[in-house]
Amino acid sequence: MISKDTIALQTKPKNRKFKKQHREALEGWAFIGIGFLLFVVFVAYPLLKNVQMAFMNYSVNPNKPSTFVGLDNFRKAFLGSGVLNESSKFYLSLRNTLLAVLVTVPAQWFLGMILAVAIEAISKGKVLYRFLLYIPVISDWIVVAVLFKYIFQDTKGALINSILLNLHLIKEPIMWLQNEWTGNIVIWALCIWKGIGWVMIMYTAALQDLPKDIYEAADVDGASKRQQMWKITLPILASRTYFIIINLIIGAFNIMLQVMLITNGGPMGKTDVLLNYMYNKAFSSFEFGYAAALSMVMGAVLIAISLVQRKITKNVEVEF
């Protein structure tokens, strides 16, 4: 006969195993539950609330009820009407945003890549050059925006005007921040200057992972540095380039602080971008429903760009 002690010894490990599995399952569900709760509170609910607001004349005043207006907020953006004609302001901010993407993204990508290759090719001072180029990336947006605002002042003593006058490239100081296109140029220049260092670091890390034997074979075959750049380096770094360009496009669409701190949308809203225009509508004019509709339009534009980019680079396998 089997004694009670023997039965107890046989069942004890099974009970311990069951309790351990039960405890691990509870811990796993606890972590998942916390993550899911945070997702619902900070992502899902705000997203659904934004969609709801886009179809309403939304009011934060509890004494003034919000009313359903259907597609009126979208008509206001796309179809010109009324004295203020908000559609012209919307199209202007959309144009400035798309121009910022078209100007800053290629410039940051090309200059950052060239600097990464050039620094990698030198034998001394690599760390110093990388550090100096990366300083703008870690600098605060407010600090560099104020710095650019003073550099591009419209007086003779301002740095840029002083240099151009001394080189006899201009006869009178340029009013950089008082004109539509010069104001946009200053904003674009700031974005390019601040983003080059990040691209340079990304390509530097990628270049250090490249196999050296390929370049040794290319040297033996008599390939020049330019040929190696276009025929070997860029094709191998295609997946990294895809990753970098996606992040640059997302960053270009998020331009707002630069505009607010340098031109504040002036003159007469000519340098407004989508985020800046949306912010002013929400927190200056308190048109939260219209601002929510604009955010949905911006999201649709980003999705469309992503789909086009994905189609163009469908054969590129992203590895990072």
**pLDDT tens digits along 294-310:** 999 998 988 888 888 77
Query: What is the structure's pLDDT at 52?
Result: 92
Confidence of residue 315 (pLDDT cuts 50, 70, 90): low
Q: pLDDT tens-digit profile of 231-247?
A: 888 788 887 888 898 88
Confidence of residue 4 (pLDDT cuts 50, 70, 90): low
**Residue of higher predicted confidence among 30 and 287:** 287
Distance CA 29, CA 166 (A): 69
Distance CA 311, CA 302 (A): 14
Task: Output the average pLDDT for the chain.
Answer: 85
Q: Categorise residue 186: left if φ over 0, alpha if ψ from -120 to 50, beta otherwise.
A: alpha
Amino acid at 55: F
Distance CA 258, CA 3 (A): 81
Reading the block at residue 249, the tokens are: 């496009």
Would you say residue 320 has pLDDT above 60? no
Beta bridge partner(s), residue 227: none
Q: Which of 67-71, 154-158, 220-224 has the lowest mean pLDDT?
A: 220-224
Beta bridge partner(s), residue 56: 68
Q: Largest Cα–Cα distance of the chain, in whole Å?
A: 112
Q: pLDDT tens-digit profile of 124-179?
A: 888 898 999 999 999 988 899 999 999 998 888 888 999 999 998 888 889 998 89
| Residue 176: alpha-carbon gap to chain centroid | 25
HEC profile of 147-196: HHHHHCCCCCCCHHHHHHHHCCCCCCCCCHHHCHHHHHHHHHHHHHHHHH
CATH code at 76-312: 1.10.3720.10
Distance CA 313, CA 238 (A): 9
Distance CA 118, CA 102 (A): 25
Task: Confirm if 264 and 247 have CB atoms less than 8 A apart.
Answer: no
Q: Which of 231, 214, 240 is nearest to 112 (CA)?
A: 240
Task: Confirm if 276 and 260 have CB atoms less than 8 A apart.
Answer: yes
Q: Which of 137, 320, 299, 315 is nearest to 244 (CA)?
A: 320
Task: Confirm if 64 and 58 have CB atoms less than 8 A apart.
Answer: no
Distance CA 16, CA 107 (A): 63
What is the CB neighbour count within 10 angstroms for residue 10?
A: 10
Would you say residue 204 has pLDDT above 60? yes
- The three-class DSSP label of residue 226 is helix
Task: Confirm if 133 and 200 have CB atoms less than 8 A apart.
Answer: yes
Q: What is the DSSP letter of 238?
A: H
C-alpha separations of 190 from 70, 251, 278 in Å: 40, 13, 21
Would you say residue 201 has pLDDT above 60? yes
Confidence of residue 81 (pLDDT cuts 50, 70, 90): low
Task: Confirm if 254 and 170 have CB atoms less than 8 A apart.
Answer: no
Distance CA 67, CA 48 (A): 17
